Amino acid sequence: MTSHVDQPQSFLIRAFSVGRRPQVAFGLVIALFWLIVLTTVSIWAPYDPLEAVGTRLIAPSMTHLLGTDALGRDVFTRVLYGARESMPIAAAVIVCATVIGTLLGAVAGYAGGWVDAIVMRITDVVMAFPAILLAMAISAALGPGLRNGFIAILIVWWPIYARLVRGQVLSIKQREHVEAAISIGATRRRILQKHVMPMAITPVLVNATMDFGQVVLFLSSLSFLGLGALPPSPEWGSMITEGAKNFYQWWIAVGPGLAILTVVLGFNFLGDGLRDVLDPRSKGDK
């Protein structure tokens, strides 16, 4: 089928040329920004995110860049602290979902037969639910809170990777180098580890990067509905709920919304760039 020859370009050269694309650079900057905020905000943040630090519901000013909320807390500080709520959870969801999905998908795709049938029917059923409804039902059953939100999102998210990896494994299994390995009598386990998985993992990494923002978005949706984070926590979704309650004080909801937007956009771009680096065949956007 496709016997492609890799361009004789080093990883660094590709990474460099990718880095010259403005979108990828933008994605990198955003990811770095939130990473720095995430790790260091408690050192330099001007206010405490949970304490009333001023008059209630005052409009943005130099002392409170995004004003204060209904309890007199500084909205800007809370937006920054929001990264510490969503992003670790999102990272945990992505890591767990890719591990679970990759293992199950690889085994299903490689073993075939009834193993494949069972795994795929489970993913079919899970994916037949509109994701938000299933996650709502699960987190309602388990009770609100970020930990339960994490479990709910993980349950709706892993099948995506299982399917992705299974499809990859199925197509890679057909390639010449795998058939060659089979013909010289390599064990199944070794073939899967050495010949199939390294190729199957690339799209998983790309998708995981792009999905990171989507998980942040999803978590904020749950929190917005009162199912993820619990009230005093400065999670972005629940801050938007507070914004909706104080509809005319626009500054409460603007910050968290923009924060979500930048994270989703940034990791989307980053995923694009990663694909270009990892997969020299893709030309990126035309």
- Which of 67, 105, 234, 243 contacts other proteins by CB under 8 A? 243
Smaller CB separation from other proteins, 54 or 226:
226
Q: Which own/partner contact pairs does 109-114 have at CB distance under 8 Å and 24+ positions apart? A: 109/165, 109/166, 109/167, 109/168, 109/169, 109/170, 109/173, 110/169, 110/173, 110/188, 110/192, 110/196
Smaller CB separation from other proteins, 191 or 221:
221
Contact between 126 and other proteins by CB under 8 A: the answer reads: yes
Tokens of 117: 């049938």
Smaller CB separation from other proteins, 143 or 231:
143
Tokens of 188: 């199944």
- Among the listed ranges 64-72, 102-110, 192-200, 251-259, the one in contact with other proteins (CB under 8 A) is 251-259
What is the phi-psi region of residue 284: left when phi exceeds 0, alpha when psi lies from -120 to 50, beta otherwise?
A: left
- Whole-angstrom CA distances from 46 to 40, 209, 278 are 12, 31, 41
- Which of 87, 89, 138, 169 contacts other proteins by CB under 8 A? 138
C-alpha atoms less than 13 angstroms from C-alpha of 120 in its C-beta half-sphere: 17
Contact between 16 and other proteins by CB under 8 A: the answer reads: no
Contact between 11 and other proteins by CB under 8 A: the answer reads: no
Judge whether 4 and 270 are in contact, CB under 8 Å.
Answer: no
First to last CA, the chain: 24
Contact between 117 and other proteins by CB under 8 A: the answer reads: no
Alpha-carbon span 253 to 239, nearest angstrom: 6
- Which of 134, 170, 199, 230 contacts other proteins by CB under 8 A? 134
Strand partners, 68: 74
- Which of 142, 151, 201, 230 contacts other proteins by CB under 8 A? 142
In the window 198-227, what residues touch other proteins (CB under 8 A)?
213, 217, 220-221, 224-227
Smaller CB separation from other proteins, 122 or 205:
122
Smaller CB separation from other proteins, 137 or 180:
137
In angstroms, give the least distance from the CB of 140 to other proteins.
4
Contact between 260 and other proteins by CB under 8 A: the answer reads: yes
- Which of 58, 91, 205, 254 contacts other proteins by CB under 8 A? 254
Task: State the DSSP code for 74.
Answer: B
- Whole-angstrom CA distances from 264 to 214, 215, 259 are 6, 9, 9
Alpha-carbon span 210 to 252, nearest angstrom: 27
> How many residues lie near other proteins (CB under 8 A)?
46
Smaller CB separation from other proteins, 24 or 253:
253
- Among the listed ranges 40-48, 107-115, 164-172, 255-263, the one in contact with other proteins (CB under 8 A) is 255-263
Q: Which residue from 154, 152, 148 is spatially nearest to 230, judged by alpha carbons? A: 148
- Which of 46, 130, 231, 232 contacts other proteins by CB under 8 A? 130
> Which residues of this chain interact with other proteins, rule CB under 8 A?
121-122, 124-126, 128-134, 136-143, 213, 217, 220-221, 224-227, 237, 240, 243-244, 247-248, 250, 253-254, 256-257, 260-261, 264-265, 268, 285-286
